[in-house]
Homo-oligomer: A and B are copies of this chain.
Amino acid sequence: MSKKVNIKTIAADLNVSPSTVSKALKDSHEISEETRKKIQAYAKYYNYKPNSLALSLRNQRTMTLGLIVPEIVHHFFSRVIYGVESVANEKDYNLMICLSKDNLEKEKQNIEMLTNGSVDGLLVSVAKETFEKGDFSHFEHLLEQGFPIVFFDRVPDNINTDKVVVDDVAGGYKATMHLIENGLKKIGILSTPPHVTVGNDRERGYRKALKENKINIEDSYTIHINEKEDISQQIAQLLKLPDRPKGLFAVNEKYAAIALQEAKKLDINIPEELSVIGFTDGYISKYTSPTLTTIAQHGYTMGAKAAEMLLNKLLNKTDNSLGQTYVISTNVVKREST
């Protein structure tokens, strides 16, 4: 390993002091042109790079943002990451991405690790388990300390902080309206258990649309999928009802795709006999057959917006207007399944 150059070694080799080198490298006018050129040439030749650790320690800022997501094998979060990354890079910020794997303990560890000086601020989408257990102490602690943090997508309800969310209720409403506008009245929903807020909100939108259109809400048309059991089978049950729905709103892409498969097995034609609409940022959706109509979630925009809010906090330290919430609106992307 060719020995690593740093300011001190440069100074020694050139018989000047470290501070001279430091200044010369920043083109300071305090240093004579001659010395400056000499030092810069040397630094370039030996490929000097300032040590970012030392810089961060010195400047008390790391120029990196922390990002905690529940998972990454998920097109939506991948898109979010892209959004965050673009905005951060523009301002010369780097990104440290951590996975909570929807696990409370892991989330706490991530927080711990990231906030020990490694990052200047945090972007978080909260783990499922955290909601289930209702333990937000790790976040509350950070907020008390005034640590800059912006939540997105899966956000804690009772904490007053900056958030970026998708309007899930409106999304569910739009999805259902899309089916209603296509002349359907018997509309089912594949939802999550109630504690998953996004699913719950989308379901509220669904109910709202039905009510507004004076369509009776048929209890047997609502399935709260239990992911610990066979998903296909739970969906098939709905499709096997003697008076099965003609339209189906799935609160995520996976359920929608499986519904398509099950419909096929049961020889139900899509969209003729059953219209299906999903909710996501569309990845599988384009490759199913038929392709899937969905509610676009705009992950990229969400990530970009969240990063923007965080950077604002970091750069204009002045305004500490807490608890802003930015809502990303959704829209229907029409494909073949409706």
Contact = CB atoms under 8 A, between A and B. Distances in A.
A287 B254 contact: yes
Nearest to A284: B287
Nearest to A264: B289
B51 A1 contact: no
A266 interface: no
Given A75-B73, A82-B73, A289 B287 contact: no
Contacts of A291: 261
Contacts of A301: none
B73 A79 contact: yes
Contacts of A99: 81-82, 85
Contacts of A4: 145
A115 B49 contact: yes
Given A78-B73, A146-B1, A287-B261, A49 B116 contact: yes
Contacts of A260: 287, 289
A95 B118 CA distance: 12
Interface stretch (A10-18, A54-62, A174-182): A54-62
Nearest to A78: B73
A334 B82 CA distance: 33
Interface of A is mostly: mixed
Nearest to A3: B145
A264 B336 CA distance: 13
A47 B137 CA distance: 13
A98 B98 contact: no
Contacts of A50: 116
A54 B117 contact: yes
A113 interface: yes
Given A2-B145, A49-B116, A117-B53, A73 B283 contact: yes
Contact of A57 (B53, B112, B115, B146): B53
Contact of A53 (B47, B56, B145): B56
A94 interface: yes
A44 interface: no
A145 B57 contact: no
A158 interface: no
A235 to B, nearest CB: 13
10 closest residue pairs by CB, A with B: A1-B146, A257-B287, A73-B78, A51-B117, A53-B117, A97-B97, A52-B116, A284-B287, A53-B57, A72-B78
15 contacts: A2-B144, A4-B145, A49-B116, A51-B57, A53-B62, A53-B117, A57-B57, A72-B78, A73-B82, A85-B99, A264-B289, A284-B284, A284-B287, A287-B287, A289-B289
